[in-house]
Chain A
Amino acid sequence: MAEMSAAMREFSRRADGGGFQLQKCATCGAVQWPPRDVCGECWTDALQWAAVSSTGVVLATITLRASMEEFFRARLPWRIGTIRLDAGPIVYAHLGGAVAEGDAVRLEARLDFRGRGVFIAQPLGGDARDSKLTELISERED
């Protein structure tokens, strides 16, 4: 399994079944990303995993033409983007199909080929997962 923090491992465990759960602060309600050990807003450690809104808006997208991992190198070009979740945080996501800047999207949390929990951005009400994205979440290196 890839190197990751304990909090990220917990996110990944929850994403494994296809659930979309992020940490939410029981004190101030702030939704966290990336995973933390203490709330980034009010500094209490009352973070609880909770199902939160999985929709957001695409801020910017790019197309990668180089990578340091063989999985991606074999499948370039590869599209990713940043998304502002309606729940608050900014996340990176792999992009399904024609997802473009300014689009409202729905995020899925899945395990990738190295056991890392990752986000995939999909058009609202659709599934634009191509074969590359299917491989991203179905292949396992270890």
Chain B
Amino acid sequence: MARRAASARANYDGVALVAPVTVPYERYSDKSAHWHIGKALKALTEKTGLSPADFDGFCASSFTLAPDTAVGLTQHFALSPRWLDWIPMGGASGLVALRRAARAVQAGDAEIVACVAGDANAKDSFGDLISAFSRFSQDAAYPYGAVGPNMSFALLTRGYMRKYGATREDFGKLCITQRENALKFPHALMKKPLTMEEYLGARTIADPLHLFDCVMPCAGAEAFIVMREETARAMKLPFARVLSAIERHNAFPSDDIQLRGGWAVDKEELWSMAGVGPDDVDFLQTYDDYPVISMMQIEDLGFCNKGEAKDFVRAHSLTVDGTFPHNTSGGQLSVGQAGAAGGYLGLVEAIRQLTGETLGAAVKEAKIGVVSGFGMINYDRGLCSAAAILAAGGVDG
């Protein structure tokens, strides 16, 4: 049967992203995912003056909420939403939440949607999470050394370095500049500068991955609100607009090693829908569970050609005040990975940058930002990729 051409998608006009909030991360916490998500919701109300009854849409992500999902949370938090979503997509959760909530708001299915991700991290709980992460990984990946995602990412980092000639120093530059950004971000768990010597000399986790290539699992939460632009203006809330957004799952399934992600399939549409180009972008927030994934996103989103992220990284200063501000709060590599909230971190930080609500260093006159997400090593590769181009909205005076 002939494949039909994909339909053109409608724009995201009239949608506002407001109230970027972060529940401070902790390396270990005895508090539950429910507690973290509740704290994030409370922070949304404090930031906006909205009360719990004002939320008629609710969307949640978490790895540690079992046996609950978003449904159970409605009763926990006495919400009666007319629109509800549960997004178990790890590092793509925030962007997928944005995309769905934006459509709900545009269509009138919901007026005010709270999007939240939060996770617990009790001591010694991480092993349970990764040994049963997915059926394929439980059956056919975990038995090979009981390592979790480090195994898949070591293999793809190895494949990427071999094919494109990226070096550990290139990955190191990403990690070190993110750490510089993190030193100004109050919630970052990493508080000390990182030198190239320390980066290169760190202990090996799984060749070629070393300690500072891997995120530190932690507890925490992130949230934001999606509403109509006119609502945000009426409430005098600073907001960011959505110029375009894409998601793709299980792209390029026959590639031997995952050296590209779904962004490469959809990037033309991402840029053409937004009506801007890579040169117009004031900052980029990539999903940085490992530095190689950030390099992949820089390429697959179109900031440089495939295989040339190493040259791009060498040519640019990547700090907040640099020529290409990247992961401006420090990213997960320096702030920590609070489970599914890791899939919100870059998006929440991007909203902060565009609404003038930064907690750390601000990109000067940031008008356009790109956010990218990547998630779910189901077996040998990450399945979910997503991205959005956002713009500063401002408030009417």
Contact = CB atoms under 8 A, between A and B. Distances in A.
Interface residues of B, number: 34
Interface in A41-78: 59-69, 72, 78
Interface string B122-151: 000001001110011011110111111011
Contact of A63 (B135, B156, B206, B379): B206
A40 to B, nearest CB: 9
A65 B146 CA distance: 11
Contact of B159 (A7, A59, A94): A59
Contacts of B158: 60-62
30 contacts: A4-B139, A8-B138, A8-B140, A34-B139, A34-B140, A59-B155, A59-B159, A60-B155, A60-B156, A60-B158, A60-B162, A62-B154, A62-B206, A63-B204, A65-B203, A65-B204, A65-B206, A68-B127, A68-B148, A69-B145, A69-B146, A72-B146, A78-B145, A81-B155, A82-B257, A90-B256, A90-B380, A92-B151, A101-B162, A114-B143
B138 A84 contact: no
Given A59-B257, A90-B256, A68 B143 contact: no
B174 to A, nearest CB: 20
A60 B257 contact: yes
Contacts, number: 96
A78 to B, nearest CB: 5
Interface in B171-212: 203-208
Interface in A73-106: 78, 80-82, 84, 90-94, 101
A69 B154 CA distance: 18
A68 B146 contact: yes
A119 B123 CA distance: 32
Nearest to A84: B256
Contacts of A118: 143-144
B144 A92 contact: yes
Contact of A92 (B140, B203, B206, B257): B140
Nearest to A65: B204
A116 interface: yes
Contact of B207 (A63, A90, A116): A63
Given A68-B127, A82-B155, A5 B146 contact: no
A34 to B, nearest CB: 4
